[in-house]
Chain A
Amino acid sequence: MLSTLQPPRSLSLLPLRRFHCSKTIVSAASSSPATTSDAASVSPPQSQILTTRRSLLSGETTASEIAKSYLSRIRLTEPQLKCFLHVSENALKDAEEIDQRIARGEELGPLAGVIIGVKDNICTEGMPSTAASRILEHYRPPFDATAVKKIKELGGIVVGKTNMDEFGMGSTTEASAFQVTANPWDLTRVPGGSSGGSAAAVAARQCMVSLGSDTGGSVRQPASFCGVVGLKPTYGRVSRFGLMAYASSLDVIGCFGSTVADAGMLLHAISGYDRFDSTSSKQDVPEFESQFLSVDRFESKPLKGVKVGVIRETLEEGVDSGVRSATQEAASHLEALGCVLTEVSLPSFSLGLPAYYVIASSESSSNLSRYDGVRYGNQVMADELNKLYECSRGEGFGGEVKMRILMGTYALSAGYYDAYYKRAQQVRTLIRKDFKAALEQNDILISPAAPSAAYKIGEKKNDPLAMYAGDIMTVNVNLAGLPAIVLPCGLVEGGPSGLPVGLQMIGAVFDEEKLLKVGHIFEQTLKGSSFLPPLLPNVA
């Protein structure tokens, strides 16, 4: 059991400057100007997207300079971190194009010059997109996912494809077919998963923001493990077109940033109805940016009257005491900001995990049928059709994927469908109802993002049930289709300088705006809130 390490401010003692060697990187990437050892004077984290925009418009720096600094940081840190499966050859060229547009006085998109990592299960035209699976090794899609297309149209630079658990199946990124990503806070620990590469890359400032995908917590849990902001939008808010399906009724593309504002602005960029995804919503996308006021404009009780429900079931047995106290302190902080706290109970909470694994495995067993070696990806030559399938899939998929395909195939089989799939859907309905009732009484609900902080690489690799249990805080949100944000709220003991812990805030359907508002104020007012990972060993 970890205990809270007080105060979390100690983190700010690790100046970003010592994280790398190049001066230009500092100016370009400084999300936090924290270079002083005086914890009390740490200013709140600043949006890297807004900083980039300002410095490009003022001519303080160029997009090329920014891109170069990030690329050199990637070069420097990748050998230890292994966040990326592929780094774009075009990033610098893309940046130069933006500089030319600036020179010509052309209008810039809101993401101009923003360095963005994209999870490898999101299609990027002409760039490898493998979902970290051997079965798609070397596969380059002929189209961009809608989210990626929008990012590019708004001037964002896709710097590379981030590592993940194969097809999103896992909670540690150890299930990647290609490499294991390290947690920047402690290289012997996992970054969480499945979007571990995207979370670790933002934490290590290898990119400003990144895209992940969240089927059962794959954005929020790694955000918690890596000390960054992870935003899981409402199901239907962001088009899934181009996201390689794991469990279609649960999958959403989510955002990572080092601030709430960055995650929110990235979400705004990729949101909206898409005629290529029938499950995308026509709901209006509000302009989140106006929520991101600077601290000096806050009122004394900026969250006065906001009703916050603390989910009782998330703070019971099985949750590390450090995580519990960090969550309780976060709750106190919200109270100090004017929120009204109540404890809420979700009776169906504990049913979510098994229901989730039945539904997700069932859908994945179907979604992954297309990887048959016939049209693209890994094909093993065979004399006979069934052999071709058997060998191509047998060699192409990793153990975790095979296990879930088997579970899902079983759950959908005649005679078992009612007992598993149908029952899980009934549980899903119950969970939705419970959340709806709780969110009618409260503006947001809070809980830890995960029962523990990041654990050691290999620790749960041979104990899938223990790993699955770690998803308890997050899966219900996917089953209910709700939006949630995870933001760092404290540190617990562990690693060279403590490990971050995330607070999960859950909102009503399509009410990301409230989550972003509350999250931003929480983040900006958290004392000594610069969640920067410590110096990476061997990187001088």
Chain B
Amino acid sequence: MSTALLRTIQPNHFTLLGTALLRRTSRSNISVRCSGSQATTTTTHEAKQPSQSRVAPKNHGSNKLDEILRDYEAVIGIETHVQLSTFTKAFCSCPNNYGSEPNTSICPVCMGLPGALPVLNSKVVEFGVRLGLALNCGLSLSSKFDRKQYFYPDLPKGYQISQFDIPIASGGYVDVDIPLEFGGGHKRFGVTRVHMEEDAGKLLHSDTGDYSQVDLNRAGVPLLEIVSEPDMRSGIEAAEYAAEMQRIVRYLGVSNGNMQEGSLRCDVNVSIRPIGQAEFGTKVEIKNLNAFSAMSRAIDFEIKRQALLYNQGQEDQIVTETRLWEEGAQKSVSMRKKEGLADYRYFPEPDLPEVILTQDYVDSIRATLPELPEAKRRRYEAMGLGMQDVLFLANEASVADYFDAVIGEGAEVKLAANWLMSDIAAYLKNEELSINDVKLTPKELAALIAAIKDGTISGKIGKQILFELLAKGGTVQGMIKAKNLVQITDPAEIEKMVLKVIAENPKQLEQYRNGKTKLQGYFAGEVMKMSKGKANPPLLNKILVEKLNAKD
């Protein structure tokens, strides 16, 4: 439900920084409203250059910021790591299961014991090809693995098996529809490359901070890393790109795409440049983005931070560094400055042969690709649905499949969309279920829609039985019969009830006839009650008005 999440983002980009500035200002009595920029520097840095922050203009309201931001363009690139939902790890046969007891899913290979060798899980290649095709990439029919070397306790071999100069897929793109509340529009973002690699283990730090432990369950879990072109220009665009990645990997079934579990991790690179400048500015990496909304906010925070530094002539303080987003504080802090480029001393992994793909293999995978979110959105749009409906329905493959099945049963498109987006969505949310869990089959939803449309039952009755169908299943016709819910469309029968209600409410009738015509609703309700909701509303109202206005 990424789109739904995104919709909760405040469209006013500047509110956040405003509060951050206020907090800073109230803490220190000197006028450091520009401290939005200062927040970026380390304590030592602040100590060294206290005067610089005072030099800054005193008043940065949102309007001022707006003005500053207008002069700059943000350039955003994203590296997405997708954990693949293979049964076993990338280079050994250990089960790939999230959440097991530490160090229970390990073997000599993923522990990096002496003499152990990696053997490639062919599913990883298959998933790489699937994702590569889905992202409109060209595939390398002959690619290879390389070793990326660095020391860290969660990296058992002292190198990560990855792909360096020949990734399995490269040169693709992804199409995204920006939600209307963020300006709408269709965007295409470039995908530089997709490559296969293995995940590292996890460090578990003790509460006291005295020691750390290493859990190697995750070591060797297969990943696909997707590197975007620096095509995004705002937090929203970046978040929509990432959300689309999540949709795609879920549609493809290559990953559960769960951000909280770390199955989908995005590292974002942000730089800004004065509008019109061709060269990129210094890029800053942001990590620890656990939700699309956080990503959007973190990027906008970073853009503002950099714009302010630029504006104050302090662009030299924008340095190549990694910053951590702190969701609680709604700001980022510097994690480490990078001294030059890290030298990973890549070289071809001698323990693994080249990865050779045949065209037949690629074609066979292409043949099994499902309809992807972008294609679905375009199809729904062509059906005449509004963008809000389109985005909702195409967001999850299961919902889209359900919707397609309902309209496949002949249901009217707009009505089917409405049912799914309102009552059924609300039900799913309350019950914490997915569309696959409900007992109501697409066929019966179509039947329900048809029954209302042809007047067999009222919309109100329809809603009533919907919940029973969702929870218990059964057929619409069966339920209508069993509960005797068929709509009363016989004018004589309705007239009988109308007359009875009027007769029982002489006082209200008098008031009505004295001009309080609002009371029509009251009479209608009473009739409906008497009919147990089955009276055809237009007919009921027509007869009711006739009788109320009739002079006896």
**8 Å CB interface, B316-355 against A:** 341, 343, 345-347, 350-353
B158 at the interface (CB under 8 A from A): yes
1/0 per position for A153-174, CB-CB distance to B under 8 A? 0000000000000000000000
CA distance A409 to B117 in the complex (A): 21
Q: Indicate if the CB atoms of B114 and A139 lie closer than 8 Å.
A: yes
**8 Å CB interface, A452-509 against B:** none
Q: Given known contacts A279-B351, A372-B158, what 14 new A-B pairs fall within 8 Å (CB)?
A: A123-B115, A136-B114, A143-B113, A240-B117, A241-B115, A247-B350, A275-B119, A278-B352, A366-B345, A368-B158, A370-B114, A370-B158, A374-B153, A375-B156
A443 at the interface (CB under 8 A from B): no
In the complex, which of the residues B113, B153, B343, B345 contacts A376, with contact meaning CB atoms closer than 8 Å? B113
Distance in angstroms from A417 CB to nearest chain B CB is 7
Q: Indicate if the CB atoms of B151 and A369 lie closer than 8 Å.
A: yes
- Residues of chain A touching chain B, judged by Cβ–Cβ distance below 8 Å, are 122-123, 129, 131, 136, 139, 141-143, 145, 240-245, 247-249, 275-279, 362-363, 365-366, 368-372, 374-376, 385, 389, 409, 412-414, 417, 421
Q: Indicate if the CB atoms of B117 and A277 lie closer than 8 Å.
A: yes
Q: Indicate if the CB atoms of B113 and A421 lie closer than 8 Å.
A: no
CA distance A376 to B214 in the complex (A): 13
A residues less than 8 Å from B111 (CB atoms): 375
* In the complex with contacts A141-B113, A362-B347, A366-B347, A279-B151 CB distance below 8 A: no
Q: Indicate if the CB atoms of A421 and B115 lie closer than 8 Å.
A: no
The secondary-structure label for the interface of chain A is loop
B residues less than 8 Å from A385 (CB atoms): 153
B residues less than 8 Å from A245 (CB atoms): 114-115, 117, 351
Q: Indicate if the CB atoms of B112 and A413 lie closer than 8 Å.
A: no
Distance in angstroms from B160 CB to nearest chain A CB is 11
| Total count of chain B residues near the partner, CB < 8 A | 29
Q: Which of B118, B120, B347, B352 has the most CB of A within 10 A?
A: B347
B residues less than 8 Å from A374 (CB atoms): 153, 156, 214
Distance in angstroms from B106 CB to nearest chain A CB is 10
CA distance A341 to B516 in the complex (A): 124
Jot down 24 A-B pairs with beta carbons below 8 A, ordered by A: A129-B115, A143-B108, A240-B117, A241-B115, A241-B116, A243-B115, A244-B115, A248-B351, A277-B119, A278-B353, A279-B350, A362-B347, A363-B347, A363-B350, A365-B345, A366-B147, A366-B158, A371-B114, A374-B214, A375-B113, A375-B214, A412-B347, A414-B341, A421-B347
CA distance A187 to B37 in the complex (A): 74
B193 at the interface (CB under 8 A from A): no
**8 Å CB interface, B104-150 against A:** 108, 111-120, 147, 149
B89 at the interface (CB under 8 A from A): no
Q: Indicate if the CB atoms of A278 and B118 lie closer than 8 Å.
A: yes
CA distance A374 to B120 in the complex (A): 25
B283 at the interface (CB under 8 A from A): no
CA distance A372 to B120 in the complex (A): 25
Q: Indicate if the CB atoms of B351 and A409 lie closer than 8 Å.
A: no
B residues less than 8 Å from A372 (CB atoms): 151, 153, 158
A residues less than 8 Å from B218 (CB atoms): none
A residues less than 8 Å from B149 (CB atoms): 366, 369, 412
A residues less than 8 Å from B214 (CB atoms): 374-375
Question: Considering the complex of A and B, which 7 residue pairs feature the smallest CB-CB distances, nearest first?
Answer: A369-B158, A248-B350, A249-B350, A412-B345, A242-B115, A244-B114, A370-B112
CA distance A141 to B158 in the complex (A): 19
